[in-house]
Amino acid sequence: MTNHWIDIANSDCIFIVGSNAAENHPISFKWALRAKDKGATIIHVDPRFTRTSQHADVFARLRSGSDIPFFGGLIRYILTNNLYFKDYVVNYTNASFIVGDKYDFKDGLFSGYDAEKRAYDKSSWAFARDEAGQIRKDPSLKDPRCVFQILRKHYDRYDMKSVSDTTGTPVDDLQRVYQTYAATGKPEKSGTMLYAMGQTQHTVGVQNIRAMSIIQLLLGNMGVAGGGINALRGEANVQGSTDQGLLYHILPGYIPTPTAAMQTLKEFNEKNTPVTKEPQSANWWGNRPKYMASFLKSLYPKQDLDTGYGYLPKLEPGKDYSWLTLFDQMLGGTFKGFFAWGQNPAASTANSNKTREAMTKLDWMVTVNIFETETGSFWKGPGMDPKKVKTEVFFLPCAVAFEKEGSISNSGRWMQWRYAAQKPSGDTKPDGDIIYELFEKIRELYAKEGGACPDPIRNLDWDVATQHVFDPHKVAKRINGTFLTEKTLKVGDADKTFKPGDPVPTFALLQEDGSTCSGTWVYCGSYTDKNMAARRDKTQTPMQAAIGLYPGWTWAWPVNRRVLYNRASVDPQGRPYQPHKAVIEWKDGKWVGDVPDGPWPPMADTAKGKSPFIMTAEGMGLIFGPGRNDGPLPEHYEPMECPVGSHPFSKQRSNPTALKFTGPTEVHAACDPRFPFICSTYRVTEHWQTGVMTRNSPWLLEAEPQMFCEMSPELAKMRGIKNGEKVILESTRGSLWAKAIVTERIKPFTVQGQTVHQVGIPWHFGWTWPVNGGDSANILCPSVGDPNTGIPETKAFMVNVRKA
C-alpha cells in the first residue's frame, strides 16, 4: 500500500476492483464505510456481486480477465473530457517526456519484439535526450511524441463500445463508473484504488496495476490522503517476508539479486545504481551501493566487502527461477531436496496435479507447519500409491504466532511487535529456533568435514540466539543495522561520532565503505535506542489527527513515513492541494505533518527542491513505464484460456511474453467447446489461503464446511443443476467436485454479442481435512504466468461444469 488502512477513511471515492474487501479484509472495510458516512462514494467492479458490492454506490460487473479494457476506457474518458489534474500531470509525471523515434506500437505489439525469444528488446522505448543527456520535454503536452499524446493515441481505440463488447459491462454502467471516479481529478478531491489478487493473478497482472497507476497519476491521486494504489495483501507478514528478500530476484530491501554477469561488487554497483541528469531528481536508488554494502556486512561483518559479495550465489542472466518454473524444474528432476516452510504448495500452486507429481521426484522434503497439510502428506494423497513414492519427508511442527515473539509488517507497511502469550505447545518450536538449530548442525558438519564451498557457510554471522534460543531482538537490531567501526558523520548541522555497536538511526547514514551493517535498509530506524515496532503511543498533532495518522503507534517503513510519495500532495510551493486533509505542508522553512519523502524544500526552490517520486531515476510518476517486460503501456490481451477467438483491440489475442511451459498438462483451452465457462477462484471470510489453519479451527470449519461452486440460475438451468447438488468441474488439467450454489450474484455476460457464463470457486479446501470437504481449486488452474512477476493466472481460466 502506498497509504494505510485508516487512510481509506480520508477518501472521496473508493474504487475497489479485483478485491472483495468486505468479506476478505473485513476490518479494513470499516474505514471504507467511515468514508461513506462522510459522503464518499464506493465503486465496486467485479465479476460477482459480493458483500462489497452490496455496500457500493456504484457496482459494475466485468468479465474476469478484461480489466485493461475497463481501465483503458477510463483513461480515454479522462483524456477526452479533460478531467485530468493538469498541473499535477505536468509537474509530477512523465507526461511531458518525449519518447525516442524508435518507439512504435502496431496491432498489439510494441517495437522491439523478438518472436523467437517471445521477449522485447526494450531499448526502443527509451526517452529522447538532449546533448546534455537530459530528457527532452514538452510541458505544453502537445508534441505528438510526448508521453501524454502517445497515451491519448494508445487508448483512443478503447472506446465505450469496444470496451463494453470485451468486458461484458453494459455501457451505462461503464459511464457511471468513469464519471464517478474521474470526478476525483479535481485538486481538492482524492480517490483511492483498492485491489487484491483479482488484479494480479493474470498473465497481464502487472499491467493491470500499471493501468491503475496511470489513472491515479492523471487524477492527481498519488501521495494524497485518501488516495494511492493500495494492495490489500493477503498474509499477515507477506509485506515483511517480501521486504526481507524471500524471493529469488531480490535481496532484503529490494536490492536485485546479483547475476553471473556481475562478478565483482564494483560491477554489481555499476549495473544497479541508476544515474540521472534531471536536476531536480533525488534518484534515491543512487544510494544503492550503501545499502548493498550494509547488507553484505550484515551477513559477513568480518570479511571485506568483495569477499562477502563473492560468496553470494549469482543467478544465470535471463534465467527464471520463479515459482512456476521451480515446480516445472522439480517435475523434471532438478532437485534432490526441497523445503516447504510454512507453506502448502500442493494446494496453493496452480496446476496442483502437476505440483503433487513433481513432489514424487524429490529425494527428500522438509516441511514446517502447524497442522497436517496436503504438501507434507502428498505421498498418501488422491491418486498416489505410497509404495511407489521414494520421497523422504520430514514434518517439523512449529509454534503458532502467539507462542513466540517478533514483528510482522502489515499491508500499510506498519511493523508491529507481537509477544508470546503461551509457551509453544507440545514439542513444537518457533520457526526461528528451527532455522537456528538446523543451521547450527549444518555449520558443525562443514566445520568438521569441510565440503563444497564451505566459507560462505562458516563465515556467516550466525549470532542470532541467546543461550541457544533464537533471539528476535538481536536479529531485529541487525535488520536495523549498527556501526561496525567508529565513524563521525554530519547529523543535521552537527558532527556526531558513532561507536561500534551503536544502532544506525536512519538509512541516510548507512555507508558504502563497510563501516555500517544493515540487514534490510528500509527497516533502518526500526530498532534504535528502543524497539520502535513495539510503541503504543497515540499522540497526534491536530494536523495528524485530521487524517488519522498515528506516528507514535508501532513504526512504518521507510523512516516511519505513513503515506508514500507525499511530496505529490502539495503544489510546487509546498502548499497542500487538499488543505482540509493535508498530509504534509511546508511551513516556516520546514515540513510538518507526516515524514516527508525526503527533507528537501518543495520543487519551486529550483536549487534545492526535489521532484516527488524519489524512487524513479527521473523523479516523476511513470505514466509511460519503459521498464516492464510486456510493454511501456498496458494493452489488452485475453487470458491464456478465454472464451473468445479474438478481441477488438488487436490481432494479438494473448500476452506475447507470458510465462509458459511445455508438457502434457500445459494445454490451454481457448474457445474450446469442451471447456465453455470462465472460472475464477476467490476467498471466503471464514477461511484463509489453502485453509490449513482455518479448516482445522472447528468454529470456522462449521461455518464453511466444504467446497462449493457459485453459478448463475441461467447456467444451472442449462445444465440441469439444482442448488445444493454436487457438480463436477473440469479443466484440461484435472477435475474437482463442488456443491452448487445457484445464485443471482452471478450473471452471464454478453461478450461480442455472445452469452458467456462465468462460475466462481473458493480455493481453501484440501483432501487432508475435513473428510468430504473437497480438494484444492488449483487442480483446475493453469501454470501460466505474468511475464514480469511469474504470478500464475488463477483468476481467469476455462472449465466445464456438469452434474455429478
466 lines the binding site for other proteins (CB under 8 A): no
Window 699-718: residues binding other proteins (CB under 8 A): 699-700, 703
**Residue 127 or 295 having the CB closest to other proteins:** 295
108 lines the binding site for other proteins (CB under 8 A): no
Distances (CA, A) of 216 to 85, 226, 256, 782: 10, 12, 27, 31
469 lines the binding site for other proteins (CB under 8 A): no
Q: How many CA atoms lie within 13 A of 89 on its CB side?
A: 28
How many other CB atoms sit within 10 Å of the CB of residue 108? 19
**Residue 162 or 409 having the CB closest to other proteins:** 409
Answer yes or no: are the C-beta atoms of 62 and 636 closer than 8 Å.
no
Q: Please state, in angstroms and rounded to a whole number, the distance separating the CA atoms of residues 314 and 303.
A: 18
CB of 415 to other proteins, least distance (A): 7
Cis peptide before 626 (omega within 30 of 0): no
Grid-cell match 543461550, residue found: 467
**Residue 427 or 495 having the CB closest to other proteins:** 427
Interface with other proteins (CB under 8 A), residue from 99, 182, 255, 299: 299
Window 546-565: residues binding other proteins (CB under 8 A): 548, 550, 553
Window 382-401: residues binding other proteins (CB under 8 A): 386-397, 400-401
**Residue 142 or 423 having the CB closest to other proteins:** 423
Window 153-212: residues binding other proteins (CB under 8 A): 201
Stretches 69-77, 364-372, 616-624, 746-754: which one binds other proteins (CB under 8 A)? 364-372
Long-range contacts of 503-508 (CB under 8 A, 24+ apart): 503/477, 503/527, 503/528, 503/529, 504/294, 504/480, 504/528, 506/559, 507/287, 507/290, 507/291, 507/481, 507/558, 507/559
665 lines the binding site for other proteins (CB under 8 A): no
Window 470-489: residues binding other proteins (CB under 8 A): 470, 472, 475-476, 478-479
CB of 503 to other proteins, least distance (A): 15
Window 416-455: residues binding other proteins (CB under 8 A): 416, 418-423, 425-432, 435-439, 441-442, 444-446, 449, 451-453
Interface with other proteins (CB under 8 A), residue from 790, 796, 798, 800: 790
Answer yes or no: are the C-beta atoms of 619 and 296 closer than 8 Å.
no
Nearest to 127 by CA among 119, 116, 137, 135: 135
Answer yes or no: are the C-beta atoms of 389 and 381 closer than 8 Å.
no
Residue 735 is placed in which grid cell?
A: 477435475
Chain-centre distance of CA 781, in angstroms? 20
Interface with other proteins (CB under 8 A), residue from 408, 779, 798, 799: 408
776 lines the binding site for other proteins (CB under 8 A): no
Stretches 102-110, 141-149, 456-464, 488-496: which one binds other proteins (CB under 8 A)? 456-464
Stretches 114-122, 141-149, 607-615, 688-696: which one binds other proteins (CB under 8 A)? 688-696
33 lines the binding site for other proteins (CB under 8 A): no
CA angle centred on 261, ends 256 and 262, rounded to 5°:
60
Q: How many CA atoms lie within 13 A of 757 on its CB side?
A: 21
Per-residue 3-state assignment (H helix, E strand, C coil) for 551-614: CCECEECCCCCCCCCHHHHECCCCCECCHHHCCEEEECCEEEECCCCCCCCCCCCCCCCCCCCC
Answer yes or no: are the C-beta atoms of 36 and 44 closer than 8 Å.
no
**Residue 632 or 773 having the CB closest to other proteins:** 773
661 lines the binding site for other proteins (CB under 8 A): no
Answer yes or no: are the C-beta atoms of 55 and 30 closer than 8 Å.
no
**Residue 246 or 275 having the CB closest to other proteins:** 246
Q: Please state, in angstroms and rounded to a whole number, the distance separating the CA atoms of residues 804 and 757.
A: 19
539 lines the binding site for other proteins (CB under 8 A): no
Run of H or E including 198: helix 197-200
110 lines the binding site for other proteins (CB under 8 A): no
List the x/- string, 10-29, binding to other proteins by CB under 8 A: --------------xxxxx-
Nearest to 625 by CA among 211, 120, 75, 91: 211
**Residue 419 or 753 having the CB closest to other proteins:** 419
Cis peptide before 558 (omega within 30 of 0): yes
Interface with other proteins (CB under 8 A), residue from 194, 211, 464, 510: 464
Residues that bind other proteins (rule: CB under 8 A) add up to a total of 164
Q: Please state, in angstroms and rounded to a whole number, the distance separating the CA atoms of residues 4 and 253.
A: 19
DSSP state of 634: -
**Residue 190 or 237 having the CB closest to other proteins:** 237
CB of 23 to other proteins, least distance (A): 9
734 lines the binding site for other proteins (CB under 8 A): no
Nearest to 636 by CA among 657, 650, 622: 650
How many other CB atoms sit within 10 Å of the CB of residue 774? 23
Answer yes or no: are the C-beta atoms of 465 and 475 closer than 8 Å.
no
CB of 119 to other proteins, least distance (A): 20
Run of H or E including 761: strand 758-762
Interface with other proteins (CB under 8 A), residue from 542, 698, 720, 753: 698
797 lines the binding site for other proteins (CB under 8 A): no
CB of 590 to other proteins, least distance (A): 26
Q: How many CA atoms lie within 13 A of 468 on its CB side?
A: 4
CB of 249 to other proteins, least distance (A): 9
**Residue 373 or 616 having the CB closest to other proteins:** 373
Interface with other proteins (CB under 8 A), residue from 38, 121, 139, 261: 261
**Residue 194 or 282 having the CB closest to other proteins:** 194
CB of 516 to other proteins, least distance (A): 17
CB of 622 to other proteins, least distance (A): 22
696 lines the binding site for other proteins (CB under 8 A): yes
CA dihedral 124, 130, 134, 135 (to 10 degrees): -40
**Residue 470 or 649 having the CB closest to other proteins:** 470
Residue 61 is placed in which grid cell?
A: 460487473
Window 600-659: residues binding other proteins (CB under 8 A): none
Per-residue burial over 371-405, b = 16 or more CB atoms within 10 Å of its CB, e = otherwise: eebbbbbbbebeebeeeebebebeebebbeeebbb
503 lines the binding site for other proteins (CB under 8 A): no
Interface with other proteins (CB under 8 A), residue from 121, 161, 260, 271: 260
CB of 425 to other proteins, least distance (A): 6
Nearest to 690 by CA among 634, 767, 758, 621: 767
Chain-centre distance of CA 578, in angstroms? 28
**Residue 603 or 777 having the CB closest to other proteins:** 777
Window 323-362: residues binding other proteins (CB under 8 A): 323, 326, 329-330, 334-343, 345, 348-350
Answer yes or no: are the C-beta atoms of 314 and 258 closer than 8 Å.
yes
Window 230-249: residues binding other proteins (CB under 8 A): 232-248
Q: Please state, in angstroms and rounded to a whole number, the distance separating the CA atoms of residues 758 and 676.
A: 9
Window 504-533: residues binding other proteins (CB under 8 A): 519-520, 523
CB of 316 to other proteins, least distance (A): 6
**Residue 413 or 610 having the CB closest to other proteins:** 413
Run of H or E including 364: strand 364-369
CB of 387 to other proteins, least distance (A): 5
